[in-house]
């Protein structure tokens, strides 16, 4: 034993360098991907909730109808929690440009620094300051200022998205710069701010992303409202919220499909490689469109090619969509490139997103029809479907984001800088792996905590509606705004 333990100790020490450390580059990419996947949920929650918050606040203040007070209180509370989550997960995003991708930050600093600074100064401050008023200031400001605060909070959220997407769109379709040598490296020097801010991708991305956020939150509001209505059919407040959500879904879900189709053509024009990855199109030439694709084996899941999939395909339809009407349009295939994005991730993410998009249109039409007949609250099947669909908007949004970001690889700035050249040269695999593990652990806890907070919010509302007993008798009664149920 006395002799064995030093040997054992030495063996452990020997094993440590062999521990499965990721490379600095791969760990950095995973870390950025993971942290933005969590952050984007909260960022879109703010963007999507904004119109609901403004509407409920305005109705509450103007009509003094208690159901709007209740809806405002519930959703502003969720907005507040979501905003805190968005803030604390957003700060690491901007830091990581410097910590993990300093070459990118330095090379693109002139192009992205301005928009990111405008985001902080014009949008983030606006949202944070007026959310403070919205959350704590009902008794301290006039009605008009209170409504204005809700509007400015929403404007802050939407403007924030604008400047962030200015940056991202520039990375997809960079314009308005020239490459020059400075401090021993190639950097992008600004030559035309208008071209750099309003790149070809910018309007497409903004409309698609804002609408995706609104759809995601609309499904969330609809799902939560449907649950409350399902528990208590005559709840006026939650029937109102459900109706509002269904109306918004009827407008936004079809819009996303029509817009997405045109957006796809734009991607085909500006990022041929990404488009080819979305369609798993390998050989340059006429492209088919695989409507439904089922992998025949595990191999074809990770490497989707037409002959390895059971597909329902529309011949030449890929060409038709890419060109906007020409079946014989030649579409560039992935074989043209030495270095391709992980095709499977892009291909399946794209199908997942589009599939969900059509499901949302179905739910919108179904709900719109029930609403027209005035039978929304009676349809058990619809209420249950909406409850199940609660998180699906966010799932579609995330996979859509993967199509955009993973599909752009190997480039971090399309055609200008590759991701593996942008990574820090001083970062070690050990450091990057350690922080990756820490971020994964921390954000899993964060997501769980948010989930619990949301659950408690819902339970509190159930108690307030009188359909659930207060579980803890010592717990003070939540202050009732007033009771309409």
Q: Does position 269 bind another protein by CB under 8 A?
A: no
Coil vs helix vs strand at 416: coil
Q: C-beta of 124: minimal distance to another protein in Å?
A: 5
Number of residues that bind another protein (CB under 8 A): 76
- Kindly tell me which residue out of 335, 456, 482, 483 binds another protein, with binding defined by CB under 8 A: 456
Q: C-beta of 53: minimal distance to another protein in Å?
A: 16
Beta bridge partners of 411: 418
Q: Which of residues 354-413 bind another protein (CB under 8 A)?
A: none
Stretch that binds another protein, among 107-115, 231-239, 380-388, 461-469 (CB under 8 A): 107-115
- Kindly tell me which residue out of 8, 438, 444, 467 binds another protein, with binding defined by CB under 8 A: 438
What's the start-to-end Cα distance of the chain, in Å?
73
Q: Does position 92 bind another protein by CB under 8 A?
A: yes
Alpha-carbon span 243 to 200, nearest angstrom: 37
Q: Which of residues 180-239 bind another protein (CB under 8 A)?
A: 183, 187, 189-194
- Kindly tell me which residue out of 37, 94, 284, 340 binds another protein, with binding defined by CB under 8 A: 94
Residue pair 427/100 in contact (Cβ under 8 Å)? The answer is yes
Q: Does position 126 bind another protein by CB under 8 A?
A: yes
Alpha-carbon span 406 to 349, nearest angstrom: 10
Residue pair 115/167 in contact (Cβ under 8 Å)? The answer is yes
The phi-psi region of residue 285 (left if phi > 0; otherwise alpha if psi is between -120 and 50; otherwise beta) is left
Q: Which is nearer to another protein, 345 or 457 (CB)?
A: 457
Q: In 427-484, where does DSSP find H-type helix?
A: 429-465
Q: Does position 262 bind another protein by CB under 8 A?
A: no
DSSP one-letter code for 325: S
Q: Which is nearer to another protein, 152 or 212 (CB)?
A: 152
Residue pair 196/206 in contact (Cβ under 8 Å)? The answer is no
Q: C-beta of 43: minimal distance to another protein in Å?
A: 13
- Kindly tell me which residue out of 21, 155, 207, 442 binds another protein, with binding defined by CB under 8 A: 442
Stretch that binds another protein, among 48-56, 59-67, 265-273, 438-446 (CB under 8 A): 438-446
Q: Which is nearer to another protein, 211 or 419 (CB)?
A: 419
Alpha-carbon span 346 to 304, nearest angstrom: 10
Residue pair 341/276 in contact (Cβ under 8 Å)? The answer is no
Q: CA-based Rg of the chain, rounded to a whole angstrom?
A: 25
Q: Which is nearer to another protein, 108 or 249 (CB)?
A: 108
- DSSP string over 417-443: EEHHHHS-SS--HHHHHHHHHHHHHHH
Q: C-beta of 41: minimal distance to another protein in Å?
A: 14
Q: Which is nearer to another protein, 88 or 301 (CB)?
A: 88
Q: Does position 251 bind another protein by CB under 8 A?
A: no
Show the CA angle centred on residue 395, arms to residues 173 and 90, nearest 5°.
Answer: 60
Beta bridge partners of 292: 312
Q: Which of residues 51-80 bind another protein (CB under 8 A)?
A: 80
Q: Does position 424 bind another protein by CB under 8 A?
A: yes
Q: Which of residues 162-191 bind another protein (CB under 8 A)?
A: 183, 187, 189-191
Alpha-carbon span 340 to 274, nearest angstrom: 9
Residue pair 126/152 in contact (Cβ under 8 Å)? The answer is yes
Q: Which is nearer to another protein, 380 or 472 (CB)?
A: 472
Q: Which is nearer to another protein, 78 or 361 (CB)?
A: 78
- Kindly tell me which residue out of 137, 254, 324, 410 binds another protein, with binding defined by CB under 8 A: 137
Stretch that binds another protein, among 50-58, 108-116, 281-289, 322-330 (CB under 8 A): 108-116
- Kindly tell me which residue out of 20, 338, 476, 480 binds another protein, with binding defined by CB under 8 A: 476
Return the C-alpha torsion angle 348, 350, 356, 360, nearest 10.
-170
Q: Which is nearer to another protein, 136 or 310 (CB)?
A: 136
Q: Does position 141 bind another protein by CB under 8 A?
A: yes
Q: What share of the chain is helix, strand, coil (3-state, %, to 5)?
A: 70, 5, 20
SS (H, E, C) 317-341: HHHHHHHCCCCCCCECCHHHCCCCC
Q: Does position 448 bind another protein by CB under 8 A?
A: no
Q: Does position 452 bind another protein by CB under 8 A?
A: yes
């Amino acid at each position: 034993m006395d002799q064995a333990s030093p040997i054992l100790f030495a063996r452990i020490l020997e094993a440590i360098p062999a521990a499965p450390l990721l490379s600095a580059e791969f760990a950095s990419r995973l870390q950025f991907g993971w942290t933005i996947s969590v952050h984007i949920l909260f960022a879109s929650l703010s963007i999507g909730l904004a119109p609901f918050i403004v509407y409920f606040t305005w109705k509450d203040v103007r009509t003094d109808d208690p159901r709007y007070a209740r809806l405002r209180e519930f959703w502003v509370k969720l907005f507040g929690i979501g905003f805190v989550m968005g803030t604390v997960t957003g700060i690491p995003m901007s830091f990581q440009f410097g910590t993990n991708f300093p070459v990118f930050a330095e090379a693109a600093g002139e192009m992205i620094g301005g928009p990111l600074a405008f985001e902080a100064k014009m949008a983030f401050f606006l949202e944070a300051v007026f959310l403070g008023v919205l959350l704590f200031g009902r008794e301290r400001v006039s009605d008009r200022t209170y409504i204005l605060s809700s509007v400015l909070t929403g404007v802050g959220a939407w403007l924030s998205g604008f400047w962030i997407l200015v940056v991202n769109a520039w990375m997809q379709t960079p314009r308005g710069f020239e490459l020059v040598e400075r401090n021993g490296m190639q950097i992008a020097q600004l030559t035309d701010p208008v071209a750099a801010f309003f790149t070809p991708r910018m309007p497409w991305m903004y409309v698609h992303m804002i609408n995706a956020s609104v759809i995601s939150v609309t499904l969330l509001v609809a799902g939560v409202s449907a649950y409350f209505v399902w528990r208590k059919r005559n709840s006026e407040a939650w029937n109102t919220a459900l109706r509002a959500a269904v109306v918004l879904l009827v407008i936004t879900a079809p819009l996303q499909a029509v817009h997405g189709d045109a957006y796809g053509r734009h991607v085909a024009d500006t990022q041929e490689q990404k488009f080819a990855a979305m369609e798993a199109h390998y050989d340059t030439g006429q492209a088919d469109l695989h409507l439904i694709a089922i992998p025949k084996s595990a191999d074809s899941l990770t490497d989707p090619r037409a002959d390895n999939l059971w597909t329902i395909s529309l011949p030449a339809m890929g060409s038709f969509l890419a060109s906007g009407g020409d079946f014989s349009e030649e579409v560039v295939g992935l074989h043209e490139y030495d270095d391709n994005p992980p095709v499977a991730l892009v291909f399946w993410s794209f199908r997942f997103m589009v599939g969900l998009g059509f499901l949302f249109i179905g739910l919108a039409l179904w709900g719109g029809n029930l609403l027209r007949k005035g039978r929304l609250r009676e349809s058990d099947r619809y209420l249950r479907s909406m409850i199940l669909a609660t998180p699906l908007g966010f799932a579609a949004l995330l996979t859509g984001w993967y199509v955009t970001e993973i599909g752009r690889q190997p480039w971090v700035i399309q055609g200008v800088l590759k991701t593996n050249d942008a990574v820090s040269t001083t970062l070690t695999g050990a450091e990057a792996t350690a922080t990756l593990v820490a971020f994964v652990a921390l954000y899993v806890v964060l997501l769980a905590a948010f989930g619990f907070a949301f659950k408690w919010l819902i339970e509190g509302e159930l108690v307030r509606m009188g359909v659930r007993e207060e579980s803890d008798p010592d717990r003070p009664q939540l202050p009732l705004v007033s009771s309409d149920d």
